[in-house]
């Protein structure tokens, strides 16, 4: 004599098991999707994203500027800039960037020096969240053509910058090789007097 469950009951428990498995897959799927969107573990560049720039060092008014703050400076538009690595290799171009002049930011922060001649001893150090650094001199920014083309930018094609360089970046667009003084994930501008 065998004991068997009514077939209706078997069907019901199978359905229940299937439903439970389906639900687990759904939850796992949602979890994976949310990780893919939000986790630095899935995209290491996410942890480099900068949402503000601190202006520090030899300045009268230290600043912390968000994208919203930057939008209040006189706008600069970059139509197109070739990206040339320091090896001389052209790695493509950037187009339709919206930013502001580094010089305008420094004028708001107001460089601090004891005598007028001390300004010419100053360096401006642009730093990124990944440790990348580029350096300018006072003479370049305030007393040469270069300064008319050093841009802190935060929009591309009208949209916020992507994870690969956002939210704020800097570029010296008229350098012979534009790669070295392009700073992705810009988060600090330090002013330093190099010589007494």
Ligand X SMILES: Nc1nc2c(c(=O)[nH]1)N[C@H]1C(S)=C(S)[C@@H](COP(=O)(O)O)O[C@H]1N2
Question: Is the preceding peptide bond at 167 cis, omega within 30 degrees of 0?
Answer: yes
Q: Would strands 90-101 and 122-128 be described as parallel, antiparallel, or unpaired?
A: unpaired
Residues 114-153 that bind ligand X (CB under 6 A): 128, 130, 132
Q: Does 19 bind Mo ion (CB under 5 A)?
A: no
Specify the residue, 97 or 183, whose C-beta has the smaller distance to Mo ion: 183
Residue with smaller CB distance to ligand X, 18 or 93: 93
Dihedral angle sign, alpha carbons of residues 111, 113, 115, 118: negative
Q: What is the DSSP string of 128-146?
A: ETTS-EEEEEHHHHHHSGG
Exposed, middle or buried, 102 (CB in 10 Å: 0-12/13-18/19+)? buried
130's contact among Mo ion, ligand X, none, with CB below 5 to 8 A by partner kind, is ligand X
Chosen residue from 185, 187, 189, 193 binding ligand X by CB under 6 A:
185
Q: How far is the CB of 60 from Mo ion (least distance, A)?
A: 35
Q: Which of 85, 133, 159, 194 binds Mo ion (CB under 5 A)?
A: 85
Give the binding site for ligand X (CB under 6 A). 83, 85, 91, 128, 130, 132, 165, 179, 182-185
């Amino acid at each position: 004599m065998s004991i068997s469950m009514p077939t209706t009951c078997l069907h019901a428990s199978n359905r229940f098991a299937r439903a439970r498995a389906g639900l687990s897959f759904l939850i796992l799927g949602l979890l994976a999707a949310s990780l893919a969107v939000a986790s630095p573990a899935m995209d290491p560049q996410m942890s480099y994203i900068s949402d503000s720039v601190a202006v520090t060092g030899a300045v009268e008014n230290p600043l912390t500027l968000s994208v919203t703050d930057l939008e209040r400076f006189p706008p600069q538009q970059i139509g197109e800039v070739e990206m040339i690595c320091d090896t001389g290799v052209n790695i493509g171009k950037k187009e339709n960037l919206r930013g502001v002049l580094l010089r305008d930011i420094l004028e708001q922060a107001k460089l601090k020096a004891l005598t007028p001649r001390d300004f010419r001893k100053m360096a401006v150090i642009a730093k990124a969240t990944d440790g990348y650094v580029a350096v300018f001199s006072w003479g370049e920014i305030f007393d040469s053509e270069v300064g008319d083309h050093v841009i802190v930018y935060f929009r591309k094609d009208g949209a916020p910058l992507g994870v690969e360089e956002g939210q704020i970046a800097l570029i010296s667009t008229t350098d012979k090789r534009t790669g070295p003084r392009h700073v992705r994930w810009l988060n600090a501008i330090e002013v330093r007097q190099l010589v007494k």
